[in-house]
Structure 1
């Protein structure tokens, strides 16, 4: 069975919309880094850093509907609504199908 990054990103958004922090955190590789430009630019790494990011994210920027989903080079880009604005996230995956990097920010 081959890994489908598009399906994985939809699963990520579904967990995000449900507020399922444990499922979300389980989708990241141990060495994954999150770079987020929502509000102010910040980087989160390590299990504790990613958990702190997601605790805040789920409160401050709950996600609602999917806007767009497409491959972009070695990443998959998903756009969704959070607090009435469109946010885009670019996710890359490692060979095991875990999120290796996550970059997000307001869509232009």
Structure 2
């Protein structure tokens, strides 16, 4: 595992807590300025840039509100969190920058 100066599991839980609360600003605060979201929820899309991320999360929170935590696992270079939504259980792999902000989100429904 890559050593971090922050707790990636805690950041993942903070991300889910902000998502569950529907707090777009808190979600964006957890993302790096150059973060990228690769979403496979309803077709594949890639979202970059603060304005696009804000629009994505505003729409995503409305369409797919998050519920309970399903699972949380660290890996070598990311943390994978799965959680219930109105569309079923989703999985998000979060990669971080050195300061602990989310650099990449790869999300998709679990089979």
Q: TM-score range by the shorter chain?
A: over 0.9
Aligned CA distance change for structure 1 residues 11 and 40 (closer, same or farther; 3 Å): same
Gaps of at least 5 residues in structure 1 are none
Q: Does residue 1:95 correspond to 2:98, yes or no?
A: yes
What 5-or-longer segments of structure 2 have no aligned partner?
none
Is 1:24–2:30 an aligned residue pair?
no
Higher RCO by CA contacts (8 Å cutoff, separation 6 or greater): 2
RMSD value, Cα:
1.2
**Structure 1 match to 2:17:** 14
Map of 1:71 onto structure 2? 74
Aligned length: 108
Name the residue aligned to 1:81.
Answer: 84
TM-score (norm 1): 0.96
Aligned counterparts of 2:104 and 2:36: Cα–Cα separation in 1:
5
CA distance in 2, matches of 1:41, 1:76: 21
- Give 4+ residue runs of structure 1 displaced > 3 Å after superposition: none
SS at match of 1:79: strand
Scaled by the length of structure 2, the TM-score of the pair is 0.94
